[in-house]
Amino acid sequence: MKIALTNSIDIASLKQELQTAFPQYKVKNAFLNKKTINISDGMSQVVVGQHKDQMICIGNLNMLDLRIFIPFVLGIALFFITGLVFLIVMMQLKKKTYKAMETEIGAYLTKKYNL
Looking at residue 77, its pLDDT comes to 93
Query: Are 50 and 8 in contact, with CB atoms under 8 Å apart?
Result: yes
How would you label 43-55 residue by residue, b for 16+ Cβ within 10 Å and e otherwise?
eebbbbbbeeeee
Asked whether residue 114 carries a pLDDT value surpassing 80, the answer given is: no
Which residue segment(s) compose the domain that 48 sits in?
2-61
pLDDT (tens digit per residue) in 27-65 = 999 888 888 999 988 888 999 988 888 888 999 888 777
Is the same domain home to 47 and 76? Answer: no
Compute the distance between CA of residue 88 and CA of residue 58 in angstroms, rounded to an integer.
Answer: 44
What average pLDDT does the segment 90-107 reach? 86
Whether residue 57 sits in one domain with residue 73? no
pLDDT at site 24: 93
The answer to whether residues 7 and 55 belong to one domain is yes
pLDDT given for residue 88 in this prediction: 92
pLDDT band at 115 (very low <50, low <70, confident <90, very high): low
Do 57 and 19 lie in one domain? The reply is yes
Distance CA 105, CA 98 (A): 10
Q: Indicate whether 80 and 57 sit together in one domain.
A: no
How many domains, in total, are found in the chain? 2
